[in-house]
Amino acid sequence: MSAHLNEQQFGELILGAGNAAIAEHIEACDVCRAEAEDIRIAVSGCRESVRQSAERDEIFWLRQRLAIKQRRARHHFAPYVRWVATAAMVLVVSAVFLVTRTPPPVQLANTDAADEILLQEVQGDIDRDYPAALAPVVLIDEDRNAALSASAGPSSNSLTKKEQLQ
């Protein structure tokens, strides 16, 4: 391997997955060896600095654990709370609906009209010559009178309707 390591070979070397040929090249090539060493130092520096920057005192971790515990407890009861809240909402809406709902207004105009119709019917019954229930009898009687008149001749007097009813 005369040329320098390519991107993949270099990556394999840093990841510790280099083969014998790569190891051999690194032994022989000062440039690649120096570059690999530079990268290892840079990556190691990054790692250390990130780890140090993420260090916090014990109170921070304790507070975080407590927050997780509290939120977990809230989450545990959340479904029940949702059901209770929904039921309460339905009750409130129903109560408001029942309280605010007014009875239908009395239809005075319709009542007057019905009374008027009833009065007209009563007046009609008073004016009638005979009760409405006897109307079929009157018709039968009229037919009978007509038949009698026809058989007895024109001289025979037929009774008036009023007389017949009386």
Partner 1 sequence: MEQLTAIAMENTRKVAGCIAAEFLDFDALVLAEQRRIYRVLLAMLRDPDAADTLTQECFLKAYEHRKRFRGECSVRTWLVRIAVNLARDHLKNRRWLFWRNLFSASDGSEGLLEQIAPHASPERSLLARERLAHVLAVVEGLSEQQRTVFVLRFMEEMSIEEVAVATSLRPATVKTHLYRALSAIKKHLKERKD
Residues 165 and 129: their CA atoms lie apart, in Å, by 9
- Which part of the chain contacts partner 1 (CB under 8 A), choosing from 11-19, 80-88, 100-108, 152-160? 11-19
Query: 14, 40 in Cβ contact below 8 A?
Result: yes
* Residues whose CB falls within 8 Å of the CB of residue 156, separated by 6 or more in sequence, listed in order: 148, 149
Residues 121 and 115: their CA atoms lie apart, in Å, by 10
Q: Which positions from 70 to 109 touch partner 1 by CB under 8 A, shown as an x/- string?
A: -xx--x----------------------------------
Which tokens in the block code for residue 76? 């545990």
| Min dist. Cβ of residue 46 to partner 1 (A) | 6
35 or 141: whose CB is closer to partner 1? 35
Binding site for partner 1 (CB under 8 A): 7-8, 10-11, 14-15, 35, 38-39, 42-43, 45-56, 61, 64-65, 67-69, 71-72, 75
